[in-house]
Chains A and B, each alone.
Chain A
Amino acid sequence: MRYLILSMMVVFMFVGCSSQPTTEMNDAKAAVDAVIAEGAEKYAQVDAQKLNDDLAAAMAEITTQEGKMMKNYSKAKEALVKVKADADTLKAGLPAKKEEAKQSAITSQTDAKTAIDDAKALLAKAPKGKGSKADIEAMKADLKGLDESLPEVQKLIDTEDYSAAIEKANAIKEKAAGVSDQINQAMEKVGAKAEVKK
């Protein structure tokens, strides 16, 4: 009888330790899926990636234990609980991250508009030197193209695609700065010529 009880305890212990942490697995996966669905990959790319990696590591640990005679899922269970907690934390902080991304997009949009306005103002003062008339017309048209692209940034902000909005705004800003550089170079040239003439 004593042996029977002992052997039952051993069997119970092994069964207890050898069953996969299904609940934790499901909870962790559901929590990660929920935070991804909320847009974590858009607004908290690094955190989302870390969550995915942690979940994958926990699942890999389960696979490792599955192949063992003496299975021990305690480490995987612990990791899964942590993944769920991290996912929940990230989900709770996502509105703030989203707002942060939105504000960055709005700042980039403003910067792009300022860069266009600066280039326009500079163009109005551009030197009317040799070969400049056609160049000025070309630059005016370039700025028109940039100006007409700005509403697309607003559209991206409206659809909450803030990273795309930032990319577009930055590209516009860069091109507008390029136009300003060209005008400045032309102004420097004219300035240098005027110096020589004196």
Chain B
Amino acid sequence: MADDQARNLWRAGVSEYLPVEYNKYTADLKTAKDDIAKEADRFVLFRDYKPYIQRFKDILVLGNEILVKVEIEKAKKADSLSEQISSFKTIISNLQKFTLKINEGRLARADLMKADLLLNEVELRYKKGEYAAAEAKIDDLSMYLKSAEDSLSPIIGRYSDRSQVEKWQKWAEDTVAESREKGIIVIVVNKSKRTLSIYRDGELMKKYSVGIGRNGSFDKIHAGDNATPEGKYKITKKLPASRYYKALLINYPSDQDRKQFILAKKKGLVPNKAGIGGLIEIHGGGSDTMTFGCISMENRQMDEIYNMVKVGTPVTIVGAVHLENSISSALGGK
């Protein structure tokens, strides 16, 4: 019976959940078996098995107690794993949805896919009751998830930064105020909303969907970064026929952009041969495209604004105008 119990304890994974208790149990059992073997070697008339009966009974009681304990431990582990699986599912799902909202989402998708595959394995092991193996996979899963979050956190950080958003908000408000005061048309581009708004006399006239740079959620620092610049600009040239239908060239880089570029260069954030870049336009070609940093629109909408604006029309490009924007609130369910 004791042998059977020992086998059951081993199969229940006691050595893994309660190693100290299991070692004591196996040591006790071994000693008792060794002693009973010695007893059996004695002359038949001197043999006395009575003390062993009690010893084996005690071992069986200990074994049963350990089995109960291990079942409790397993249940706890199962609950904890179930919670973790549910939590990871939510995190992965939210991150996956978020990555579809920004052009930079691709940077996190591969890691998210790996994390998702591992979560699948964790669930399978959990269902089979292989809790230790499931937990081991969770460590790997967390690593990929962290890597995915690290890819996205600089973006989320910018759009959740109160002072940054307030700065953008002020630029947008100042631009609309200028429109009201001077009775002119102004353009405000909101990158998180992917919209281009036209104001006349401070009133919203039209709003269009736009595409931005491949890394458009970031502020443009240098040539080739595929980021869309943020700042207060003006239209410097109207191009009736450009590579991307009609285009409105803006005065990027501004003085502010130049200062920012020099600072970034000092900090080593700019590749050696990279210049500050230029030729940032609002152009046609479709609002769904990912540009090298320009703002793209549908051609028929480009026709509309091309006729409304003139050289000198203010163009203000901001990331967001509310702290609660589509990027900062994207992981709200996390």
| Interface set of A (CB-CB < 8 Å, partner B) | 29, 56, 59, 63, 129-135, 137-138, 140-142, 144-146, 148-149, 164, 167-168, 171-172, 175
Contact = CB atoms under 8 A, between A and B. Distances in A.
B290 A175 contact: no
A171 B122 CA distance: 12
B105 A167 contact: no
A172 B106 contact: no
Contacts of A168: 117, 121
Contact of B113 (A129, A133, A137, A142): A142
Report the 6 A-B pairs with minimum CB-CB distance, sorted nearest first: A145-B113, A141-B109, A145-B110, A137-B106, A141-B106, A144-B110
Contacts of B1: 63
Nearest to B8: A56
A127 to B, nearest CB: 11
B120 interface: yes
22 contacts: A29-B7, A130-B286, A133-B289, A134-B103, A134-B105, A134-B106, A134-B290, A137-B290, A138-B99, A138-B100, A138-B109, A140-B106, A141-B109, A144-B109, A144-B110, A145-B109, A145-B111, A146-B113, A146-B117, A149-B113, A171-B120, A175-B116
Given A130-B286, A134-B105, A148 B99 contact: no
A177 to B, nearest CB: 13
Contacts of A130: 286, 288
Contact of B124 (A137, A138, A144, A167): A167
A30 B124 CA distance: 31
Interface in B261-299: 286, 288-290
Contacts of A140: 106
A196 B275 CA distance: 47
B321 interface: no
B209 to A, nearest CB: 10
Given A133-B289, A138-B106, A145-B117, 15 more contacts: A134-B290, A137-B106, A138-B100, A141-B110, A142-B113, A144-B113, A148-B110, A148-B114, A149-B114, A164-B121, A167-B120, A167-B121, A167-B124, A168-B121, A175-B113
